[in-house]
Structure 1
Amino acid sequence: MVDNLAGMKDRPAGVDERALRDALEKWGIGAVSLEYAPVGFGDYHWIAADADGPRWFVTVADLAQKGQAGDGESALRRAMDTAVALRGQGLDFVVAPLADAGGETLQLLGSRHAVSVFPLVSGRPGEFGDRLTADERRKTVEMLAELHRTPPPASTPVRPLRVPMRGRLEEAIEASGGGVWRGGPYAEPARALVADSAGRLRERLAEFDRRVDEASGADLVVTHGEPHPGNLVMVEGSPVLVDWDTVGLAPPERDLWLVAGGPDDLARYAELTGRRPDPEVMELFRLRWAIEDVALYVEDLRSPHELSADTREAWEALTDTVRELTAPVSNS
């Protein structure tokens, strides 16, 4: 990961830093300093250093967010193992986790969290929402083309087209017309927002189902899943990719919709891979991203929560995403 970090993030409840220090010893890291890094939205991060001077980027993941039906540890381990395998296949742009003394890519930290350790990369990190220059886009498209041409490691999970939390979102839409949501300060505003947008949200879900049916049977390749600027680090002018917990087999458009800025980028990708991206499948993944975000944020804000930087950010992201998702379609 990177050594130039900025951002806002609540410190995680239930993570004992003494236990974290003990876990790091499995990587041979006798950390004399452990600095919490308030960056990103999802996992928790620290910068670890020992007496000899090296530094590492330490990630603690909430396993409940990494899989379904209690398989978060298995899902995250497969993703981390896949990143290591891709790096071993010569993809130097993959910032993969470091294996511990026993060859493992993660260690459990209690029953809910898992620790991974990454090299600390010196470079210029981006942020979600940044605009890449034409040269940065071209290089990122070329990087993705190389990833998509790479034979998938055996550990690579398959990423479904359908949204895992679809049922929970439909339940929330139905419940929004009933009683008050009492999970916390943003629960009732979230209910009102969903209730006001219920009809249009159902329409977009139906559109999503249609697009999934049309895209079923598409060729699958190794995809990163979230190659947006927030997961890119420019190292001497070339991009590297961090945060591989979303890696998986999927149509290449899963990555391309986040990067390609126009016909030139798509033509360059087709030149390198022999495969012309499908704009309709790119739109499928654009819609899937928004629906999954709404599902996750609504679930969080319906659940017990307090007023914090994280919940404020979740509320703001939910309102922005619902506004975009339900905006009238222009006929011009």
Structure 2
Amino acid sequence: MEKVRRWVREDFGLDVGELTPVGHGADVAADVWKAATVANTYAVKWSGAGTNTGHQVAAFLAETIPGVPEPVRTVEGGLWTFHGKKKRLTVTPWIDGVRAAETGLTVAQWAEYGVLLRRVHEAEPPERLRNALPKRSPVNGRIPALAEELQVRLTTRAPEDELEEELAAVWKERQETITGLLSARISEPAGPRVVCHADPHLGNVLVDDRVHLIDWDDVVLAPREQDLMFLLGGMGSLGPTTTEQLTAFFTGYGDVALDQDAISYYRHARALEDVALWAEQALTGPDREGCIDILRGVLGPGGLAPLALS
């Protein structure tokens, strides 16, 4: 960790004493630490995922939207530096709140979250920044091929250990659903595009005296249904679990005419992504058993995969 302290000191001008690894999050391409100086506490992230544009969008949004953490600038005025194999080092103020994925949101907080996400979608970034935004998740391009590779491995090859055997059993049990995801051909929506967080489930929400939406690595310019899909079922406890909660969110968000075809498109894309990436991580680690359990949830009754095919 000494090298991280040195990077933070040299790049951001912060003299970090205590540096504590943070284990939350599903991004295996990222390392995150809670970093303390004499005066303040920060979240330090070293990641190879997402794009640089996400940090620029977060900085832009933070100027006018409470609940979007403002990145700390480098000593040269930038938003990140590169270390290792072109992995970005970023720093944001530490939010000393609870994780909504663990505690849920109250009805009032769901409404507040609706207001926050509506403000994100209504933001008008400068033309230069808008033009730089990806139009779809960089992850999506490799997912179909990865899913096909997993299909071959888990249905035709002998498992290498007991956990792979368990994974293969889950895969085969839900083969009809997986085949449906692989064979579906859904046209990409052509509706108006707005700034979308692209992963706004409760795993990326923190709460102290307000609701905060964190982890802006995967920002895209897309129809708002890219984000709203996460609020409309299939996410288990990472989305609204009652009609009252859903109503509260849309009370805050405001009136919107949802394009159901766009919802279907983004729901399918996310379901296939979750199936492929959780299965891959169940093979490679970390937390292989936990990944198999998550995969069961994605594929099982009430999960995102069957909902995407309904």
Tell me the TM-score normalised to structure 2 length.
0.81
Structure 1 residues 278 and 169 mapped into 2: Cα distance closer, same or farther (>3 Å)? same
Is 1:270–1:277's contact at 8 Å kept on the other side of the alignment?
Answer: no
Aligned residues: 288
Alignment map for 1:90-239 (pairs within 5 Å) = 90-111=64-85, 113-127=87-101, 131-153=104-126, 154=129, 155-160=132-137, 163-164=140-141, 165-182=143-160, 186-207=163-184, 209-210=185-186, 213=187, 215-236=188-209, 238-239=210-211
Structure 2 counterpart of 1:30, from 7, 15, 25: 15
Question: Which residue identity is paired with 1:125?
Answer: R
Is 1:223–1:249's contact at 8 Å kept on the other side of the alignment?
Answer: yes
Take 1:124 and 1:78, find their aligned partners in 2: how far apart are those partners? Answer: 27
Take 1:78 and 1:252, find their aligned partners in 2: how far apart are those partners? Answer: 18
Is 1:141–1:259's contact at 8 Å kept on the other side of the alignment?
Answer: no
Partner SS for 2:262: helix
Alignment map for 1:282-293 (pairs within 5 Å) = 282-293=263-274
Structure 1 residues 95 and 326 mapped into 2: Cα distance closer, same or farther (>3 Å)? closer
What displacement does 1:329 show?
Answer: 10
1:218-275 deviation line (CA, Å, top 9, x unaligned): 2110011122222222342x3221111121111111222323654675476453xxx4
Structure 2 partner of 1:7: none
Take 2:254 and 2:271, find their aligned partners in 1: how far apart are those partners? Answer: 26
Question: Which residue identity is paired with 1:189?
Answer: E
What displacement does 1:117 show?
Answer: 0.7
Is 1:27–1:100's contact at 8 Å kept on the other side of the alignment?
Answer: yes
Partner SS for 2:76: coil
Is 1:125–1:230's contact at 8 Å kept on the other side of the alignment?
Answer: yes
Is 2:195–2:222's contact at 8 Å kept on the other side of the alignment?
Answer: yes
What displacement does 1:134 show?
Answer: 2.6
Take 1:86 and 1:317, find their aligned partners in 2: how far apart are those partners? Answer: 32
Partner SS for 1:277: coil
Structure 1 residues 172 and 330 mapped into 2: Cα distance closer, same or farther (>3 Å)? closer
Take 1:134 and 1:262, find their aligned partners in 2: how far apart are those partners? Answer: 9
Take 2:110 and 2:180, find their aligned partners in 1: how far apart are those partners? Answer: 33
Structure 1 partner of 2:59: 84
Take 1:30 and 1:21, find their aligned partners in 2: how far apart are those partners? Answer: 8
Take 1:23 and 1:81, find their aligned partners in 2: how far apart are those partners? Answer: 20
Is 1:270–1:276's contact at 8 Å kept on the other side of the alignment?
Answer: no
Q: Which moved more, 1:151-160 or 1:132-141?
A: 151-160
| Identity across matched positions, percent | 21
Is 1:160–1:250's contact at 8 Å kept on the other side of the alignment?
Answer: no
Take 2:122 and 2:217, find their aligned partners in 1: how far apart are those partners? Answer: 20
Take 1:185 and 1:29, find their aligned partners in 2: how far apart are those partners? Answer: 46
Question: Which residue identity is paired with 2:275?
Answer: V
Is 2:189–2:223's contact at 8 Å kept on the other side of the alignment?
Answer: no
What displacement does 1:85 show?
Answer: 2.0
Q: Which runs of 5+ in 1 are unaligned?
A: 1-16, 67-74
Take 2:24 and 2:110, find their aligned partners in 1: how far apart are those partners? Answer: 24
Q: Which runs of 5+ in 2 are unaligned?
A: 233-244
Matched, 1:241 2:213: yes
Take 1:314 and 1:329, find their aligned partners in 2: how far apart are those partners? Answer: 20
Structure 2 counterpart of 1:316, from 265, 288, 293: 293
* Structure with greater helix percent: 2
